[in-house]
Structures are given as structure tokens and as C-alpha cells.
A and B are shown apart, each in its own frame.
Chain A
Amino acid sequence: MQQFSKSFRASIRQYMMIIAMVVLVVFFYTSTGGKFGKPMNVYNIIMQNGYVLVLAIGMLLPILIGTIDLSVGSVVAVIGAVAGIMMYRWGQPVWLTLIVCILCGVVIGIWQGFWIAIVNLPPFIATLGGMLIFRGLTLVLLQGKTLAPLPSSYVQISSGYIPDIVSNIFGIESNMNITTIVIAVILCLLVLYGQLNARKQKLKYGFQAPGIPAILLRVFLISAAILLVASRLALYKGIPFVLVIVGVLALFYTFILNNTTIGRYIYALGGNARAAELSGINIRNVKYGIFINMAIMSAVAGIVFSARLNSASPLAGQSFEMDAIASCYLGGASASGGIGTIMGALVGGLIMGILNNGMSLLGVSSDAQQIVKGLVVILAVAFDILSKSKSSK
């Protein structure tokens, strides 16, 4: 949980984005007469954006080293196709399908990483090629047809939720999913513990540490957000599996980027590649790892997305890469590398998702939505550049 506090401190830009997100939420809540905040709608926002958030988390790594991966949408499609063929045509079990899908992701990553890290192709070109190749492969595999339906246990990955175990055990009769609330409270306590523990460590080293009131305020704000979302979800079905996947990935990658040597190598490579090399960092391995990771994350998104569609479609995943890239930039990542956080990418992705959902509820046509989203990306980054150049003067 220490990561949260770190990303709060990380940049004013992120505060700005979080504030912007809150403003958007309030705006849509009032302008839709509360429809936006209905339990089912909160659930929908998570379902609609789960795979984009997974991709945004994955995409942050290439962006941190100053590149992008264009093949993401096509990889999502080809993984969906593999899943469809395994289960629909060959009748293989779900668990085997999942393993094969992830392995396919690894293979795709090795292929792309080979061109980027070993042959030194610019990632833009290598993944542009990948985008065409994997889209074509999808069409070949599916012969242009959509395979549906998929087994219901597979579909559960996307539409399932954590069942209300607590109510069942204790025999509580309630219209709320008590388990959701229990999990949320446990999370809040973990946040509190994490913050206090970090403070204790700092004091042990004799450093200045934030005071107890500051920590309580921070924990209060985070807990309020967690409980707010949890209460909505509890009134509907409960915590969707997708949210669990996104949450676990977000925490894991935040930890990797903030607390491990590999994370530091990635930031160093993005900040100054030559300097990283002369500091003894094996640039080739880092690059290779990043693109393998991206492909695995695309595979995860491919599974989530095909489960949500309940079909393997040759058109799946089109322009997903752009949504993921936009989320990262919106969340404060720098196009030239070295700057960006998982938290930022998530907030960026959520802002896009909230805009989509809110505008749909308001009856804005999807054509106009595109224009608004495009403008938001440009304005957010322009604002960032202008505020930076002002502060540096």
C-alpha cells in the first residue's frame, strides 16, 4: 500500500488527473440524475473497461522506455481466436485453453522481442508489422467467421463475481453482498497498516516521516473511495472477477516498478539509454522482457475480452492499442520515456471509460464521443506541457 502514497506524492499531474476524475464523476452523477451512480452502472463501467485497464498497465512499460506497442489489439484478437478454436471447435477444457492462450502470448512476445531487442528494429515498426500479422492470423484461424457461444465457465472470467460466501456461512439475509463489504474493510485496514508500517520504517532510519494526522487523512480518503465503490458493487452482484484481475495486476506492477531493481532499470533506460548501459544495465534483456510482458498482458486482455463477448470474433480488439496508449499519456506518462506510473495509467484509462459511459447515458452519439475523447487527450497533455514550461522559467 506504500505504493499508493508514493504515487500520490509522485506528481501534481496525478493529483490533477484524480481531481479531474472526481469532477467527471460528480458531473455525470448530477447530469444523469443519479443514473451514473446506480450499482448496475458502476458494475458496467468496470466490465466495459477491464481489458483496456489491463492493456494500459502493460502498455506503460514500453511507454516508459520511450516506445509503444501497436500490435496489442491484434494480439487480443488472435488470442480470442485461439481460445474460440480450442473450446468451440476442439472441445478442450477451459483450464487448458487458458494455459495455451497465455503460452501463445509468451510466444508472440518472444517473436516481437526478437526483432526489437536482438535485431534492433524500432519497436514502432516491429509492432506495426505484428499488428498486421496477428490480425491476418486471426482472420486465417477463424476463416472470417465468429465462433460463439463459448463455455459458460469461460464466460464467467468476465461476467463472474465473488459469491457472497460470508452471508452463506453466517446465514445472513440481506440485499447487499456482505462479502464485498468485508473485503473492502479488510483492504482499508491493509492500507492503514501499510501506511503506519512505512512510517515506522522511516522513523527507524531516523528520517522525517509524515505525522499521524496526515496519514489518517490519506487513509481516510483512500478508504472512502474503496468503500464507496464497494458499497455500489455490494448492492448489485458483488466484486467482479475482472476487478480482481485489474487490482492484482495494478498492485503487482506498481510494486515491480517502484520497489524492484527491474523497475528502476526500466525508468533508467527510459531516462537515458546510454547512461543506463554505462551503469551496467543490460538494455537488451530489459527490452526483451518488456515486450514479452506486453504480449502476455495482451493475452490476458484477449481472454477477458473474448469472455465478455462470449465469442471469438475476427474484428475483436481493433484500436485497443490506441486506447491503452491514450490512457497512459492521459495519466501523465511522457512520450519520450522515463516518466509515468501504473496509478496514472489506471486513472487515465478510467477517465476515458467514465467519459464513454457518462456520455452514453447522456445520449451523446458514439461519433461525437470519439471527438470529445480525442480533445481530452490533446488538452490534458497540452496543459501538462504548458504548466511544466511555466514552472521551469
Chain B
Amino acid sequence: MENILLEMQSITKEFPGVRALDNVSFKVKEGEVHALVGENGAGKSTLMNVLSGWYAYGSYDGQIIFDGQECKFFNLRDSEKLGIVIIHQELGLIPYLSIAENMFLGNETASKLGPLHVIDWNECHNRATEMLNKVGLDENPETLIKDIGVGKQQMVEIAKAMAKNVRLLILDEPTASLNDQDSAHLLDLVRGMKEKGVTCIIISHKLNEVEQIADAITIIRDGATIETLYRGIDEFTQDRIIKGMVGREMTDRYPSRESNPGEICFEVRNWNVEHPLYEGKRVIQDANFDVRKGEIIGFAGLMGSGRTELAMSVFGKAYGKNITGQIFKDGKEVQLNDVADAIRKGVMYLTEDRKGAGLNAIDDIRHNITIANLQSISKRNVVNHNEEIKVAEEYREKLAIRSTGILQTAGTLSGGNQQKVMLSRGLFSNPDVLILDEPTRGIDVGSKYEIYTFMNELVNEGKAVIFVSSEMPELLGMCDRIFVLNEGRIIAELSGDELSQEIIMEKILTDTRKRAEHATIQ
């Protein structure tokens, strides 16, 4: 058992402007379940992508030693040949293909007929059934993926990995989208795999699960390994893990600001939102929150807790269906029926998905800045181009957007500068309430600081800011109050001394546990 199966030595991986991994070392013993924990953006997924060959050999520094041999993986196939299989957070299954087809995709049992590979469907289904039995999933291999639940899909992923003679299985947030029953089943399965001699690396935010199942835990923070804890040797509790994840000095990472909130500027009451596609599925339940003038409030919560959904549904119903509830602005009830309506009434939202739903990458900085409020530089719908140039230049200077000029194509800017263009768009629409969804995602430390500073300026001007983020430290560093979301509900409102990562985490974990107990009683 003491045999080291995998050793990653001083891995360094850089992206333009960001050092995602800095000299990370990581050891996994054969036959153990090794948990990898850390905050979002700490570098867990990057590390696993290096291991699986997703980032080809040569694009990072450092060494990977697997089973005593140094490995150079250029793609996923190379690592799979040695039995390293990664199962991503977003499942890699094709919905309109059957279980069996998915299971052997790219790995088909086939006989050669000239240049063709002819699939032996009987053999394929036999093997699929065999694998499904191994993972304890009672489904017909011909069933389409779209017709089974997420939990079962996760099982199929594992069965698929087994079909590849897996030696080291990497699970990236396997239980993030599962309910507790399915999660328990999955953890059982991981234990079963361990008995069969398969080594597992599991990335998870659910520390209670980690505590239950892991033999060792490696904590990553800011792209560096902090420590590795071993069961039976080190203290092995959630508190201990959280301390490892959080324990950083917070000074000077966030610009300071005098907090003096004014009157309530924006208030949402009894807010309910249903999923846009699955009618009747509540995504947000009975949410209540408010934000004052000159105040930053935060939305905290794990992935899938409904932060973005809440923010977007408030922004002119840009998300969801059958929305009910009331919105008050400056004490008066308002209806925000569509996005244009919301912008007109002084509410602006900037998306977390900068590339997909934010920037028009093929157009220039100027047009990207003005698009949400063209009317203000137009007379009878005719745009005044010179006025537009003036506006764009003004924001380029004000936010220090590093570019060759306002005519530079937005898609060619760095992440931080793209975000500043987005921020300019938001400001130019002249909102009273600005909702920022992950405004610092994927941008370098320097730009982050500039954006924080800018948020503070806004608040000092008396605007209200709603700050949605998955990085708790920045919420804690910036917000006056934090609303904690879990599974579509606001479970806590924290302010003052309560603003700490331990308390937020604890609130979320308690709520999840409570709900699980509630579910089992039912």
C-alpha cells in the first residue's frame, strides 16, 4: 500500500498574465482515495488538466512520474493508455447516444473491414452490461443518456472509465450536481473501486464527504500546495481543512473604504423563479434581500446555489420563468419586465460569462461600451458618432483600459481589460444599482485590484453594488453585508463580525445537512 503511484514534481503552469500553478508538488499512494481541496480558482482543475494531458507536455514546467516512469502526455489519449482517466465536472456524455455508445466512444470494440472499423454491437452491449453491473447501475445499455438522471449519468461516466482499465481515476466535483442519495451511492462506489485496487483523486467542495472518504487530503491555495493531511496521522476534521484553505493574510489585497450606507435603494421580496426549461422546478425560493445606497452587498454560495440565477432574474427577467415577487426601488414598487426596462429604471447587470454573453468580441471597444445606452448619444435614433468617440475615450481613460485605442477589437484585449470594457458599459448605462457577477473571474491580480478600487469609487458616489462571486475572500474583503445562498434559498444574511469564511461555510454545510436529514425523513 505504501507504493507511490503518482508523483507530480514542481509543476508550474502559466497563462497569459496569470500563474495558475506555482511549483506544485503532489504525491498519491497506490490504492488510496486522495482528496484535492481548495477554493475556486486555486488551481485544482488546472493541476488535474496537466496530469491528464489536456495541457500538453511542454506547456508547463515540472515532471509527472506515474508508476515509477516519467510521463510526457500530449493529449488525453496518452494518459488514458496508462490508465489515468479524468471525469470532468461537466459530464462528457452525448445526450442523444445510448449508454453503450457513450461508454465505448472512441474506444469501440470493432473489427476491421478494409478501411472501415465495423462495430460489433452484441459484444459492445455485453461489455456495457458487464460494466454497468460493476458500478451497480441497472439500466439497459441501449437507453439514451438524456433519458437517465444526472446521478446515473455520473455512474455511466465511471463505468466508462472502468471500461478503459482505469488505474487512477480523477473525479472533478463528482457530487456537485447530485442529491444526497445519489452522492452517497457514488461515494460507496468510490470505496468499492478502492477495494478493487483503483486509486482515486477526488476534487470536492463538499468537505463532509471529503472527511468521510479520503485517506489523504492535499490542500491547494493560490496555485501552490499548502499541505497534505493523512488520515490517522494528522487532525482530520472539516475545521482543520477550512483553516488550511483559508489561512491567508488578507491585508492589502482589497482597497479600504469607509462604510456609510444610506437609505435602502433596492429591495427584492418573496422572489421565486422557475427553471426556464423545466417548468415547475424552482430555482430560487422565497428570496428576500436589499441593498442600500453607498453599500456593497455580496451573494455567496457554492456552485449551483443560484447566485447568478437570482441576479439575472432580478435584471428584467433575463433568466427564468414564472417569476413572482416584488421589487422596490427607492421605496416604490417597480416592474422590471425586460432588460431594456431594467436598464431604463437604473438597474444594470454585468455577466459572469464575459465571452459568451458579455463582449461582442468582433467589434471595437467603442461600440462595446455604448451599446447598452445608445439612446443617450442619439437624436431620433441617429447615433452621434463624435459624441460616441468622446464617451468611449472618456471611459478608456477613466478605467485605464490598456489598448491601442478605442478602435481596437474587444476580442484582442486581455481578460482584465475586457472586464474593464464591460464595466464601462455598465457605468455608461448610468445605473443606481450595479450587479457585478464574477467581475474578477480569470483576470490577473493587478486588474482585480483596479476593479475593486473602482467598485469603491462607485459606492462612494452613492451607488449600490451587488457583488456576486464564488471567491469568498474577495466578498469578505469588499462587502458590507453578505447574503449566503444555498440550493436556491437565501439562508443567511451576515454583517460585521459574522463576516468570515468559516461562518459562511458552516452555514452552507449546516443547511445542506439539515436538508439531507429532512429528505431522508420524508
Contacts and interface: CB of A to CB of B under 8 A. Distances in A.
Interface in A248-271: 259-265, 267-268, 271
B383 A259 contact: yes
A271 B381 CA distance: 20
A202 B375 CA distance: 20
A46 interface: no
Contacts of A260: 378, 381-383
Contact of A338 (B363, B375, B429): B363
B318 A264 contact: no
B372 A271 contact: no
B362 A261 contact: no
B363 A267 contact: yes
Contact of B340 (A204, A259, A275, A282): A282
Contacts of B340: 280-282
Nearest to A339: B362
Interface in B114-142: none
B378 A261 contact: yes
B383 A261 contact: yes
Contacts of B361: 271-272
A274 B356 contact: yes
A278 B343 CA distance: 10
A207 interface: yes
Count chain A CB atoms within 10 A of each CB in B353, B361, B385 and give the residue with the most: B385
A170 interface: no
Contacts of A245: none
Contacts of A338: 360, 362-363
Interface in A277-291: 277-282
Contacts of B363: 267-268, 271, 338
B360 A268 contact: yes
B367 A268 contact: yes
A392 to B, nearest CB: 8
Contacts of B389: 205, 207
Contacts of B390: 205
A267 B361 CA distance: 12
Interface residues of B, number: 37
A293 to B, nearest CB: 15
A367 B32 CA distance: 72
A275 B351 CA distance: 9
A265 B359 CA distance: 14
B360 A272 contact: yes
A207 B339 CA distance: 34
B159 interface: no
A201 interface: yes
A148 B378 CA distance: 49
A274 B349 CA distance: 13
Contacts of A207: 386, 389
A5 B481 CA distance: 53
A276 interface: yes
A278 B360 contact: no
Contact of B382 (A259, A279, A280, A281): A259
A282 B338 contact: yes
B342 interface: yes
A11 to B, nearest CB: 12
Nearest to B387: A205
Interface string B347-388: 001010100111111110001001110110010011101110
B357 A272 contact: yes
A280 B367 contact: no
A151 to B, nearest CB: 39
A3 to B, nearest CB: 11
Contacts of B382: 259-261
A262 B385 CA distance: 14
Contact of A280 (B342, B381, B383): B342
B292 interface: no
B425 interface: yes
Contacts of B367: 264, 267-268
Contacts of B338: 280, 282
Contact of A278 (B344, B358, B362, B375): B358
Contacts of A263: 383
A268 B344 CA distance: 19
B407 to A, nearest CB: 10
Contacts of A201: 386
Contacts of B359: 272, 275
B397 to A, nearest CB: 14
A136 B389 CA distance: 51
A52 B387 CA distance: 36
B386 A278 contact: no
Contact of A264 (B315, B374, B386): B374
Given A259-B383, A281-B340, A282-B340, A275 B357 contact: yes
B383 A278 contact: no
A281 B316 CA distance: 12
A336 to B, nearest CB: 9
A118 B315 CA distance: 22
Contact of A277 (B339, B370, B374): B339
B381 A277 contact: no
Nearest to B390: A205
A240 B370 CA distance: 41
Contacts of A267: 360, 363, 367
Contacts of B385: 259
A259 B379 CA distance: 10
B432 to A, nearest CB: 16
A261 B374 contact: yes
Interface string B320-345: 00000000000000000011101110
B386 A271 contact: no
A271 B338 CA distance: 21
Nearest to B354: A275
Nearest to A263: B383
B343 A274 contact: no
Contacts of A264: 367, 370-371, 374, 383
A339 B372 CA distance: 19
B409 to A, nearest CB: 10
B360 A271 contact: yes
A275 B360 contact: yes
Contacts of A272: 356-361
B374 A278 contact: no
A129 to B, nearest CB: 24
Contact of B339 (A202, A262, A271, A280): A280
14 contacts: A205-B386, A261-B375, A263-B383, A267-B367, A268-B363, A272-B357, A274-B357, A275-B351, A275-B371, A278-B349, A280-B339, A281-B339, A281-B371, A338-B360
Interface of A: 201-202, 204-205, 207, 259-265, 267-268, 271-272, 274-282, 334, 338-339
Interface of B: 315-316, 318, 338-340, 342-344, 349, 351, 353, 356-363, 367, 370-372, 374-375, 378, 381-383, 385-387, 389-390, 425, 429
Given A277-B339, A278-B357, 19 more contacts: A207-B389, A261-B375, A261-B382, A263-B383, A264-B367, A268-B360, A271-B362, A272-B356, A272-B358, A272-B360, A274-B351, A274-B356, A275-B351, A275-B357, A276-B360, A278-B349, A279-B425, A280-B340, A280-B343
Closest 9 CB pairs of A and B: A271-B360, A274-B357, A280-B340, A279-B372, A280-B339, A205-B386, A280-B343, A261-B374, A272-B360
